[in-house]
Amino acid sequence: LLPSCLLGFLCFSIFGATVTALNSELNVISQIAIKDVFRKRLELSEEKLQLLIGRIIIAVVMILCMVVAGFIRNFGGSFRYLITLMSLTTLPTFVPLLFGLMYKRTPAWGAVLSFCTGLTTGVICTFALGIPTAYMIFANFAVTLATMIITGELWPVKGDRAEIVEHLFEKIKTPGASDMIG
């Protein structure tokens, strides 16, 4: 329906949007790894070293994505792959984030553990047991939430960390508290 010049413009626009989205996702992954994982473990204070590690992380993730893209047909096509990937990862990601805003007893490692157990449950249900997606999502949710609650009940946040968490929950309850952050 489009003239050739507009069709080319549309194709390049779609390509540009895809590259931009991929670039931002790769940068987010790299920043999270550097700021939250490697900096604390390796005492990364030099910016050149952080940049080098960030570039290495981006290259590894890109290679991993290209390898997975080669096997998309084995997953039943790209749509089925995205459905499977989203159903495996969405609940283990968002249950700790959202539940953590309501339940202050769970320690930080409990949230990470709940993500890992939820993801593992989804992988086992999907690939080892062949359970339909709807049941896998329910099992994924139940295991992730149960892990959050159990870790919070058995190993609640204590000491200085408990004071920080309590202060955060007071800020959440107080309207306009974002003006007083500090």
Give residue-wise pLDDT tens across range 154-169. Answer: 998 888 888 888 887 8
Whether residue 114 contacts residue 96, with contact meaning beta carbons closer than 8 Å, is answered with yes
pTM, two decimal places: 0.68
Rounded CA-CA distance 56/79 in Å is 29
| Percent of the chain whose pLDDT exceeds 70 | 92
Q: What is the pLDDT of residues 87-102, one digit of tens each?
A: 888 889 889 988 888 8
Mean pLDDT of the 13-23 span: 87
CA angle 101–107–112, rounded 5-degree value = 85
Please say if the pLDDT value at position 139 is more than 90. yes
Going by C-alpha positions, the residue among 94, 85, 87, 70 that lies closest to residue 148 is 94
> DSSP characters for 14-72?
HHHHHHHHHHHHHHHHHHHIIIIIIHHHHT---HHHHHHHHHHHHHHHHHHHHHHHHTG
How far does Cα 36 stand from its chain's mean position? 13
How far from 103 is each of 95, 108, 148, 159, 166, CA to CA, in Å? 11, 12, 9, 17, 11
Q: Which of 83-87, 122-126, 140-144 has the lowest mean pLDDT?
A: 83-87
Across 45-49, 103-107, 131-135, 169-173, the highest mean pLDDT is recorded for 131-135
Rounded CA-CA distance 96/86 in Å is 16
